[in-house]
Structure 1
Amino acid sequence: MNRPQDAPPAGSPERPGPAGAGTGASGPARSGRVLGVLLIGVFLGALDIAIVGPALPSIGRSFGVDERQLAWVFTIYVLFNLIGNPLMAKLSDLRGRRPIYMLDVGLFALGSLVVAAAPSFPVLLVGRALQGFASGGIFPVASATIGETFPPERRGRALGMTGAMFGLAFLLGPVIGGVLLPFGWHWLFLVNVPLAAVVLVLSGRVLPPPRASAPAPFDWPGMALLGAGLVTLALGINRIDSQAFFPSLLSARVWPLLAVAAVALLAFRRVEAAAPEPLIRPELLGNRQLVLANALSGLSGLLQSGLVFVPSLAVAAFGVKPATASYLLGPAVLASTIGAPVAGRMLDRAGSRVVIAAGTALLAAGLLLIPAVTGSLPAFAADGVLVGFGLASLTGAPLRYVVLNEADPAHRAAAQSLLTVASNIGQMVGSAGMGAIVASHGGAVSGYEEAYVALGALTILGCLLSLGLKNREEERRTARKNRETRA
C-alpha cells in the first residue's frame, strides 16, 4: 500500500516519491541538466550495441573462435540484459533513481574494462554479461527519472530526446568503430570508460538525491522465477532454426526450454500475487492502458527485427556488396533519429493515441510498399525514410509516455522495464519468424517481400490496438488524478 505524501509548497520542487527521485516542478535549467546526464548515459548504452559489430571479426581472430561462438557476444548480452532490466528497475523504485543509475553506469564501465582486458574468450563473455546486466537498468531508470523531473506537459519532448540517442548512436557507432578499429578492437570498448566517468561525476552533482524511506524487502523469489523464465525463453527462441522452423521448434533442443519458461512465468505470476513488495505489481498487468502499451512494445520489437534483414534484402534485390548494403539502413535510422524528438513534441500537444496511431499507419504503408520498391534503389531508400519516421512514433517515447502517465510513481521504473522486456521478446520472435519466411523461399527476394508484407499486416493490427489508448483529454485527467493522489 503506497503511503500518501505531503503536497509540496507552491513554487517549490515537488517532493520525491517513495523511491526518492522526484523533482516534478523543478525549473527548466535544473531539469535540463538532469536530462543532459540521462541522455549521455542512454547514448553510452546504445553506442555499445551499435559499435560491437565491427569488432567481431577481430575478436574472432584474437581468440581463435568461429562465428557460432562469436554469436555468444550478442546472446549473452541479451540474456543478462533481460535479467538486469526488471532487477535494476525495481531496485530504483525501492532505493532511489540516482544510486541505481550510478550503479548501472559504473557496472557498465567495469564490464567494458573486463572485455577490453580479457585474456581469453570466456572472460570476454563475462564482461559482456556484466555490460548487458548493467545496461538493462539504464534506460528504464532514466525514463522513470524523466517522469519525476518533468511535468506531464513536458515529458514527451524529453522522452523523445532519449529515443533520438539510440538513432544517433547507430549513426555514429560505425564511424567511431571505423576510426578506433585500426588501433585494436579493445578501444571500441575502452571508449566507454571516459564516457561513464563523466556520467558518474555529473550524476552525483545533478541528479536528485533519494529521500530516506523505510526499507522494503526485495522480491528475490519473484526475481529468480522471472529471470529463469526470461532466460529459458530467450535461449529457446535463439535455438530455433529458421530454415526448419517447425521441426526445430519440436526438437529436444527447443521445446523443453520453452516449457520451462512457461512454467516459471506462470509460477512468477502466482508468487507476485502473494509477495509483500512484488517485483511487478499485479495491477500493472491488469491496467488496460499498460497492457496495450506492452502489446505495442512487443510489436515494435518485431518491427525492429525486420530492419536487421534490410541489408540482406538489398544484396538479393540490387546485387550490391554486403558492406554497401549496410548503408541502406541509413535512411531509416536517420529518419527515426529526426522523428523521435518530433514525436516527443507531438505527444505533449496531441497525446499518445494520435501519435502512435498516425505512426503505425505510416509504418504499415512503408512496409506494405516494399514489394513495389525492390526494383528501384532510390525508391527503396525513400521507403526507408517512411519506415523510419513510422518507427519513431512507435518505439521509445510514445509508449514510455503512456506508462509514465498510468503507473504509480513508486513503481514507474518497474513498469518501464516491462516495455523493454516485451520489445526484446518481440525482437527475438521476429528474427526467428522473418528468418523462417525468407528461408522458405530459398533466400529469394520474394521471401523478403512476403516477410515484410506480414509485418505490415501486423502493424495494421497495432494501429487498431492504438485506438484503444486514451485521448489527450483523458490523459490529462489521469495525470491530474495522479498528482492529487500524491498530494
Structure 2
Amino acid sequence: MVSKFRSPDNKVLLVLFLGVLMGALDIAIVGPALTPIKDYFGAASRDMTWVFSIYILMNLVGTPIIAKLSDMNGRKKMYIASILLFSAGSLVVASAPSLSIVILGRAIQGFGAGGIFPVASAVIGDMFPPEKRGRALGLIGAVFGIAFIVGPVVGGVLLMISWQAIFLVNLPIAVLLLYLAVKYIPSSSPRKKVPFDWAGMIVLSIMLGSFVFGVNQLDTTDLISSIVSTKVLPYLVASILLLFFLIAIEKRSVNPIITPILFGSRQLKISHTLAFGAGFCEVSLVYLPMLAVASFSISPSGSSFMLIPSVLALSVGAPTFGRLLDKIGSKKVINFGTACLTVGMLLLAAFVSNWTMFFISTVIVGFGLSALLGAPIRYILLNETNEQHRGSAQGLMTIFTSTGQLISAAVIGAIIGSATNPVAGFSTAYLIIGVFSLALVLVSTRLKPK
C-alpha cells in the first residue's frame, strides 16, 4: 500500500467508534448472562469458564493474523471481515442447542473481535497525519470506558427478554456497521502479493493456545504446586519452546506474521514493555468489587457499582490524553499515566478499608490506565511504523497487553487466595502492582521526547 494521508472524515471515525464499541460491549454485558446460560443448559460451573476463556484465546490468536492480513489486503476488507465473523459468532451463540455450540460461537466472536481494534487503529494511522492521530485514538480509546458504564445496564435490560437477546442485539448493529464501512471507509490498494506466512500462523496459534490453556488451569490457591502439575507445566513449557521456534521461522520468512522489524528500535521495545505493564495493571480493576465486598461488607450485586469512579475517570481521561498527545507528545503523557498508576495502587494498598481513600485512589488509577490503554502506546506505534507494518504493530501490542492480563490475573488470584485475611491479601496484591507500576515509570523515562 502506498502511504499518504487522506482527508480525515468524521464519518469514518464514527464507523470505527461503533465497531470498537460493539466488541467492547460484548465483553461488558456477557457477565450477567453466564448464570442464565448455565441454568438453561444445566451446565457445571467449571464448564462456564470456557465461555470467557475461549473468547480470550481466539481473540489473542485472531489479532495478529487479521492485523497482518490488513497490511497485505487492505484495511477496509479486513475490518468488514472482522465484523462479519463477530456477527456470525453472535448468531451461533444465540441459536446454540448446547453449551458446546455456545463455546464454538464465542470462539468465532473472539477471532473476529481480535481484528476490530487493531485494524481501526491502523486506519487512523493511514488517514491522519501524526499531529492529529492522538485525538482520534483518544476517542476510540474512550469506547472501553463507555462500554463498561453502559454494558451492565444494557445487559440487565436485555436479560429481561432472554440471555439470547444479549447476543442477537449485535446483528442489527453489525448490519448498520457493514453498510457504513462499505460506504465510508476508503479502499486501499493491496501490496504486491507475497506468500502468506502459514507456518508462522500455525506455530503462533499453537503457542498462544498452549500459553492461555496452561494459565487458565492454574489453581490460584496453591500456585507453586499448580505450576509444576501436569495440567499446567507441559503447556507452559511448550509455549516457551514454540516461541523460540516461531522466532526462527519468522527470521526466514519473506512475509513474517510477526515482523522482526517491530522489535528493531528502542522506542518500539519500550512500547511493548509498557503494553505488557498496562495489561498487568488493568486486571486490578476486575478485583475492585471483590475488595469492596471484603472491606466494606457490600453485597456482591452492589459491589459492581464501585467500579464507576475509575471507569468514569478512564472515559474522561482517554480523549483528554488523546488531545494532549498532539500537543505535548507521548512521553509526558505516559510519564504522567504511570505515575498516577503508582500513586493510586500504593494508596489502595495502604487504605484498603477507608471509603474516601478507596474512591480517590480508584479515580487516580482510572486516569493512569487511560494514559496507557487508550491512545498513547498506539500513538507511538503508529508513528514508529510505516503503512506496510502498521496493522501488525497494533496486533502485537494487543498480544503483549493480553499476556500481561493473563499473568496478572494468576498472580493476583494466588495472592488473594492464599491470604488468611482477605483484606490483607488485597493490600499485598495492590502493593505489588504499585511497585510494578513504579518500574513502568522508570521504563517510560526512556521514551524519546516529542
- TM bracket, shorter-chain basis: over 0.9
Indicate which of 19, 24, 30 corresponds to 2:5.
24
Q: Is the alpha carbon distance of 1:212 and 1:422 closer, same or farther for their aligned partners in structure 2, counting shifts above 3 Å?
A: closer
Shift of the alpha carbon at 1:373? 2.9
Indicate which of 185, 195, 219 corresponds to 1:207.
185
Shift of the alpha carbon at 1:81? 0.7
Shift of the alpha carbon at 1:286? 2.5
Is 1:419 aligned to residue 404 of structure 2? no
Counterpart-to-counterpart distance in 2, 1:215 and 1:306: 44
Partner letter of residue 471 of structure 1? Answer: P
Is 1:233 aligned to residue 211 of structure 2? yes
The Cα offsets for residues 70-108 of structure 1, whole Å up to 9 and x where unpaired, read as 110000001111110011000000000000000000110
Is 1:112 aligned to residue 90 of structure 2? yes
Length, aligned pairs only: 450
**Alignment partner, residue 329 of structure 2:** 351
Is 1:249 aligned to residue 227 of structure 2? yes
**Alignment partner, residue 405 of structure 1:** 383
**Alignment partner, residue 279 of structure 1:** 257
**Alignment partner, residue 371 of structure 1:** 349
Identity in percent: 45
What is the TM-score when the length of structure 1 is the normalising length? 0.91
- In angstroms, what is the RMSD of aligned CA positions? 1.1
- Which ranges of structure 1 fall in alignment gaps of 5 or more residues? 1-16, 473-487
**Alignment partner, residue 459 of structure 1:** 437
The Cα offsets for residues 134-178 of structure 1, whole Å up to 9 and x where unpaired, read as 000111000000001111001001001111001101110001011
The Cα offsets for residues 6-31 of structure 1, whole Å up to 9 and x where unpaired, read as xxxxxxxxxxx35xxx66141x5xx2
**Alignment partner, residue 448 of structure 2:** 470
Counterpart-to-counterpart distance in 2, 1:85 and 1:442: 40
Counterpart-to-counterpart distance in 2, 1:391 and 1:443: 28
Is 1:265 aligned to residue 265 of structure 2? no
Counterpart-to-counterpart distance in 1, 2:348 and 2:188: 50
Partner letter of residue 457 of structure 1? Answer: V
The Cα offsets for residues 34-90 of structure 1, whole Å up to 9 and x where unpaired, read as 111100000011000001001011000000012110110000001111110011000
The Cα offsets for residues 226-284 of structure 1, whole Å up to 9 and x where unpaired, read as 11111101111111111101111011111100111011111010000000111111111
Indicate which of 165, 169, 172 corresponds to 1:191.
169
Is 1:144 aligned to residue 125 of structure 2? no
Partner letter of residue 120 of structure 1? Answer: S
CA contact (8 A) 2:350 2:427 kept: no
Partner letter of residue 305 of structure 1? Answer: V
Counterpart-to-counterpart distance in 2, 1:119 and 1:399: 42
Query: In the TM superposition, what are the counterparts of 1:78-157 in structure 2 within 5 Å?
Result: 78-157=56-135
CA contact (8 A) 2:347 2:357 kept: no
**Alignment partner, residue 420 of structure 2:** 442
Counterpart-to-counterpart distance in 1, 2:334 and 2:25: 26
Shift of the alpha carbon at 1:217? 1.1
Shift of the alpha carbon at 1:362? 1.1
**Alignment partner, residue 3 of structure 1:** none
Q: Is the alpha carbon distance of 1:279 and 1:382 closer, same or farther for their aligned partners in structure 2, counting shifts above 3 Å?
A: same
The Cα offsets for residues 182-221 of structure 1, whole Å up to 9 and x where unpaired, read as 1000000011111111110000010111215421211000
Counterpart-to-counterpart distance in 2, 1:300 and 1:83: 20
Partner letter of residue 364 of structure 2? Answer: L
Shift of the alpha carbon at 1:320? 0.7
Counterpart-to-counterpart distance in 1, 2:172 and 2:351: 44
Partner letter of residue 74 of structure 1? Answer: F
Shift of the alpha carbon at 1:382? 2.1
**Alignment partner, residue 431 of structure 1:** 409
Counterpart-to-counterpart distance in 2, 1:117 and 1:450: 44
Counterpart-to-counterpart distance in 2, 1:87 and 1:249: 29
- Which ranges of structure 2 fall in alignment gaps of 5 or more residues? none
Indicate which of 293, 314, 322 corresponds to 1:336.
314
The Cα offsets for residues 352-393 of structure 1, whole Å up to 9 and x where unpaired, read as 110001111011101000133323223312221111111100
Counterpart-to-counterpart distance in 2, 1:396 and 1:234: 24
Counterpart-to-counterpart distance in 2, 1:371 and 1:291: 30
Counterpart-to-counterpart distance in 2, 1:212 and 1:385: 44
Counterpart-to-counterpart distance in 1, 2:96 and 2:303: 32
Counterpart-to-counterpart distance in 2, 1:371 and 1:241: 24
Partner letter of residue 285 of structure 1? Answer: F
**Alignment partner, residue 181 of structure 1:** 159
Q: Is the alpha carbon distance of 1:56 and 1:23 closer, same or farther for their aligned partners in structure 2, counting shifts above 3 Å?
A: farther
Is 1:391 aligned to residue 375 of structure 2? no
Indicate which of 338, 348, 359 corresponds to 1:360.
338
**Alignment partner, residue 194 of structure 2:** 216
CA contact (8 A) 1:37 1:203 kept: yes
CA contact (8 A) 1:23 1:208 kept: no
The Cα offsets for residues 417-456 of structure 1, whole Å up to 9 and x where unpaired, read as 1110011110110000001111221352011001001100
Counterpart-to-counterpart distance in 1, 2:190 and 2:408: 43
Q: Which runs of 4+ in 1 moved over 4 A?
A: none
Counterpart-to-counterpart distance in 2, 1:272 and 1:370: 43
CA contact (8 A) 1:167 1:334 kept: yes
CA contact (8 A) 1:373 1:383 kept: no
